[in-house]
């Protein structure tokens, strides 16, 4: 059953890729706005007009391939995605080294048009294809003692210049509380625009947690561990004061060095006005996960 969420868009609402790629012409007036095909109010249209494939593929963060926004697109062709295996271990009924195709076989691939908000205050709207993480976890059998899920990115020093230069402590690691991981908004993306993920976007499989800052969406995953302790995460290890375990998008809690109240939509143009950042990035259905928690303390 496809999960329905706030501002839900169905497959029928998604504009054909040709229209996305030609959207400047379309918006210039040769075709009516109706051709954009996104349901909802004018502001919802603004908020969910997808970025072009070109933008999604050339403006990246993937520190294993360098720290510049264009470095991953330049360098990630070196990523070796052949014979991809994902180790599943910890508090699961069926641990093992799974060939990716075996891990995902029988699970349904969903289309998810999500806002994506980097902690650096830029954002995009991305049409992902992916599998609900809950489906994968249910397939391997989560034990009742598990409380968290830890994730790990592949390390290929020969292919990754950022790993050789030690720009972070690799492997890149991330984690979610189990209820966050099981939430139907949380997906493992394998595609964008009905095409396989480009290497720089985290091929062959990366996490997408749309209500959290982008760094939680760890790329090129080779290990998933069920655990009963909060796992370490890369950006918190690098700077504990600036990057918390939860890192839910929250316009009222500023980063120590910049405001999180607004964001720049990539592709909006140099002089486009910034737009307001939405609580939980505009996915209020997750609020109940944090009831009773002080979100300025558990940031």
Instruction: Give the residue ranges of the annotated binding site for Mo-molybdopterin.
Output: 60, 63-64, 118, 153, 201, 206, 217-219
Which range touches ligand MTE (CB under 6 A), out of 91-99, 133-141, 217-225, 280-288? 217-225
Residue selected from 51, 52, 61, 225 as contacting ligand MTE according to rule CB under 6 A: 61
Neighbours of 83 (CB within 10 A): 7
* 119 versus 131: smaller Cβ distance to ligand MTE: 119
218 contributes a contact to ligand MTE by CB under 6 A: yes
Interaction with Mo ion in 99-138: which residues (CB under 5 A)?
A: 118-119
3-class secondary structure for the chain?
Answer: CCCCCCCCCCHHHCCCHHHHHCHHHHHHHHCCHHHHCCCCCHHHHHHHCCCCHHHHHHCCCCHHHCCCCCHHHHHHHHCCCCCCEEEEEECECCCEEEEHHHHHCCCCCEEEEEEEECCCCEEEEEEEEEEEHHHHHHHHCECCCCCEEEEEECCCCCCCHHHHCCCCCCCCEEEEEHHHHHCCCCEEEEEECCEECCHHHCCCCEEECCCECHHHCCCCEEEEEEECCCCCCHHHHHCCCCCCCCCECCCCCCECCECCCEEEECCCCCCCCCEECCHHHHCHHHHHHHCCCCCCCCC
The residue whose Cβ lies closest to ligand MTE is: 214
Residues in the chain, total: 299
Given 51, 153, 190, 236, the residue binding ligand MTE (CB under 6 A):
153
| Among Mo ion, ligand MTE, none, partner that 128 touches (CB below 5 to 8 angstroms by kind) | none
Q: How many residues bind ligand MTE (CB under 6 A)?
A: 15
Which of 62, 84, 211, 246 touches ligand MTE by CB under 6 A? 62
52 near ligand MTE, rule: CB under 6 A: no
Q: Is 277 in the site for ligand MTE (CB under 6 A)?
A: no
Counting contacts by CB under 6 A, is residue 172 touching ligand MTE? yes
Q: How far is the CB of 68 from ligand MTE (least distance, A)?
A: 12
Q: Which lies closer to ligand MTE via its Cβ, residue 141 or residue 244? A: 244
User: Which candidate, 185, 184, 178, places its Cα nearest to that of 226?
Assistant: 178
Task: Report the residue number, 26 or 210, with the smaller CB distance to ligand MTE.
Answer: 210
Task: Name the minimum Å distance from CB 114 to ligand MTE.
Answer: 11
* Sole residue written with tokens 């809690």: 253
Note whether 163 binds Mo ion by CB under 5 A.
Answer: no
Residues that bind Mo ion (CB under 5 A): 61, 118-119, 214-215
Residues that bind ligand MTE (CB under 6 A): 60-64, 118, 153, 172, 201-202, 214-215, 217-219
């Amino acid at each position: 059953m496809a999960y329905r969420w706030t501002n839900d868009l169905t497959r029928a609402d998604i504009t054909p890729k040709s229209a996305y790629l030609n959207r400047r012409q379309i918006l210039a007036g040769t075709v009516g706005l109706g051709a954009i095909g996104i349901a909802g109010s004018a502001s919802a249209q603004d908020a969910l007009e997808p970025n072009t494939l070109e933008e999604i593929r050339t403006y990246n963060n993937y520190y294993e391939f360098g720290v510049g926004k264009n470095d991953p697109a330049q360098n990630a062709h070196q990523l070796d995605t052949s014979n991809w295996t994902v180790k599943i271990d910890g508090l699961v009924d069926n641990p093992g080294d799974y060939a990716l195709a075996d891990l995902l076989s029988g699970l349904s691939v969903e289309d998810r048009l999500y806002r994506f908000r980097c902690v650096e205050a830029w954002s995009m709207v991305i049409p992902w294809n992916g599998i609900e993480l809950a489906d994968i976890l249910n397939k391997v059998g989560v034990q009742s003692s598990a409380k968290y899920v830890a994730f790990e990115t592949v390390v290929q020093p020969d292919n990754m210049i950022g790993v050789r230069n030690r720009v972070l402590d690799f492997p890149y690691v991330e984690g979610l509380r189990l209820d966050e991981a099981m939430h139907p908004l949380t997906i493992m993306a394998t595609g964008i625009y009905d095409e396989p993920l480009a290497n720089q976007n985290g091929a062959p499989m990366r996490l997408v947690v749309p209500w959290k800052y982008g760094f939680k969406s760890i790329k090129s995953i080779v290990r998933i561990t069920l655990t009963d302790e909060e796992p370490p995460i890369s950006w918190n290890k690098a700077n504990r004061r600036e990057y918390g375990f939860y890192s839910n998008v929250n316009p009222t809690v500023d980063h120590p060095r910049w405001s999180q109240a607004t964001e720049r939509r990539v592709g909006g143009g140099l002089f486009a006005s910034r737009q307001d950042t939405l609580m939980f990035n505009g996915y209020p259905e997750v609020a109940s996960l944090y009831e009773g928690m002080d979100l300025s303390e558990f940031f």
